[in-house]
Amino acid sequence: MKHACEEISHLASEKLERRLSFMETVRLRLHMLMCSACRHYDAHITTLHKALKIKRKNTFNAIHLPQDKRKKIEIALKDSPRD
Amino acid sequence: MGGTFVSNDMNPQRWLVEHGDILYRFAMQRAQNEELAADLVQDTLLAAWKSKDSFSGSSTIRTWLIGILKHKWIDYLRKEIRQRDHATLAEGDPTAWFDPNNGAWLKKPQQWHDDPASLCQDTQFFQVLQTCVKHLPEKQRLVFDMRELQGLDSDEICKVCDVSATNVHVLLHRARLALRQCLETHWFGGKKPW
């Protein structure tokens, strides 16, 4: 198959962005059965994608609006015209 | 009774108390900067108060406020990007990774031995990753940053950049090709980071 790895690596990335069609999934899987380089590529970008997702989630929950900034916003809200 | 409930809910001071943290989290995840994030929260609350009549009650106040914040951030990014010199928005060479004759890998990806859970705990890995991201061509860096570091979805990125989803996917694909190689060289390959 001409340009196989180039196309398959694109599909592997698309897989993280949208639901692949049935035929696309079959093409991806079949190719990866035969090609260890693409299998590794798929594993790498998926690992990176997942690691960043976990990282975002962990950081997200640890963030709190600092007191001084909260105070500043409170004052700005008070100064804004009411109706 | 319903009327009293709504008017009680429509109080920006109370929004700040009840939803300040969650709004600031979304803001920090995007802006990665405390001042900018706090400004974003303030703008969101002021804008929400101004357009309080548009709150339909079909969602919760929290969802409504987060929606406004997300819009504000997209507006901010759009302006930011437009101000940049477009000549610097280089795309990078997409053909660098494959043999032009048969589309095979020029340099085959090797096996890595890390799983997402341990990688995401590794601060050194993230330093290397961030350096790799910095070396990406500008457009790819922007899109990858929005998608994987800020956690925006494709739809939001399309709005920021005024491009199609296909376009965004191509940029993400190129960014991943380059980043993966960079990580293999500087992290998994054991070569010292810069």
Has residue A29 got a pLDDT over 60?
A: yes
**Average of per-residue pLDDT across A42-71:** 92
Work out the mean pLDDT of chain A and round it to a whole number: 91
The domain tally of chain A equals 1
User: What value does the mean pLDDT take over residues A14-30?
Assistant: 96
> Which of A36, A44, A69 is facing B180, going by the closest CB pair?
A44
Rounded to a whole number of angstroms, the distance from the CA of A70 to the nearest CA of chain B is 8
Given a contact cutoff of 8 angstroms between Cβ atoms, the answer to whether B10 and B45 are in contact is no
Which regions of chain B are under pLDDT 70? 1-8, 84-95, 190-194
| A59 pLDDT above the threshold of 70 | yes
Q: Are B9 and B65 in contact (CB under 8 A)?
A: no
Chain A contact for B183, CB < 8 A? yes
Residue of A nearest to B99 (CA): A3
B176 touching A (Cβ < 8 Å): yes
Helix (H, G, I), strand (E, B) or coil at B105: strand
* B100 in A contact zone (CB under 8 Å): no
Q: What is the pTM of this model?
A: 0.81
pLDDT at B91: 58
Domains with residue ranges and CATH for chain B: 2-83 (1.10.1740), 89-188 (1.10.10.10)
Q: What is the DSSP string of B18-68?
A: HHHHHHHHHHHHHH--HHHHHHHHHHHHHHHHHTGGG--SSS-HHHHHHHH
> How near does any CA of chain B get to the CA of A50, in Å?
6
Residue B157, token pair as written in the block: 């990125």
Domain carrying residue A11: 4-79
Instruction: Check: CB of residue B194 under 8 Å from CB of residue B186.
Output: yes
